[in-house]
Amino acid sequence: MAGGTDFLNRMKLRLIEPAFVMNIGRLRNMDGIDIGNTETVIGANTRLKEIAGAPLINKRFRAIAEAAFQVASPTITNMATVGGNLLQNTRCRYYDQSGMVLNGLERCHKRGGTVCLAVKGSKRCFSVYQGDLAPALIAFEARCVLEKKGSTRTVP
């Protein structure tokens, strides 16, 4: 987890029960905004509050600053990171519930079952992505640098 605002909720609801959790939110080499002449780099751990308040982001990429500002409330944006915002889980009212509520419901695709409770008869999950930052980043043709075990790749 980074800010934990998406991840910890899912743990509290017992939707996920990981054997261990690594908190990457304090890795300082992954945060900060670096504004150059040809390229602007936003580290994955940069808090949404910092993006919303950065004068140069507001000047050059206003929609990104506005999107970061619109997310939830200051309590959330103080903790939430851009990496976590992009990679947050999809939401569905038949899924994001406590065990008490879910116990009365048939298991849907997202819970390892075979039905979709939102779209009857569907053979797949219809829960859609709802992150606020991605549309603004797409509009500015942003790219993500993904790193895994020493190798990197860049995706739109």
Ligand X SMILES: Cc1cc2nc3c(=O)[nH]c(=O)nc-3n(C[C@H](O)[C@H](O)[C@H](O)COP(=O)(O)OP(=O)(O)OC[C@H]3O[C@@H](n4cnc5c(N)ncnc54)[C@H](O)[C@@H]3O)c2cc1C
Under the rule (CB under 6 A), what is the footprint of ligand X? 1-7, 9, 24, 44, 48, 71-72, 76, 79-81, 83-85, 87-88, 131-132
Out of 5, 45, 67, 94, the residue judged to bind ligand SF4 by CB under 6 A? 94
Name the one range near ligand SF4 by CB under 6 A: 19-27, 29-37, 124-132, 147-155: 124-132
Q: Are 52 and 39 in contact (CB under 8 A)?
A: no
Name the one range near ligand SF4 by CB under 6 A: 29-37, 69-77, 108-116, 144-152: 108-116
Angstrom distance (rounded) from CA 39 to CA 36: 5
Based on the shown chain and the rule CB under 6 A, indicate whether residue 86 belongs to the binding site for ligand SF4: no
| Alpha carbon of residue 93 to chain centroid | 18
**Which residues of 109-156 form beta strands (DSSP E)?**
144-148, 151-155
Contact partner, 33, from ligand X, ligand SF4, none, Cβ < 5-8 Å per class: none
Based on the shown chain and the rule CB under 6 A, indicate whether residue 88 belongs to the binding site for ligand SF4: no
Kindly give, in sequence order, each residue whose CB lies less than 8 Å from that of residue 71, ignoring residues fewer than 6 positions away: 48, 77, 80, 85, 132, 133
Q: Compute the least distance from the CB of residue 21 to ligand SF4, in Å.
A: 23
Q: Which helix (H) or strand (E) holds 35?
A: strand 33-35
Count of beta carbons in the 10 Å neighbourhood of residue 117: 19
Q: Compute the least distance from the CB of residue 125 to ligand SF4, in Å.
A: 3
Based on the shown chain and the rule CB under 6 A, indicate whether residue 95 belongs to the binding site for ligand SF4: yes
Give the 3-state secondary structure of residue 156: coil
User: Which residues contribute to the site for ligand SF4 (CB under 6 A)?
Assistant: 92, 94-95, 108-110, 116-118, 125-127
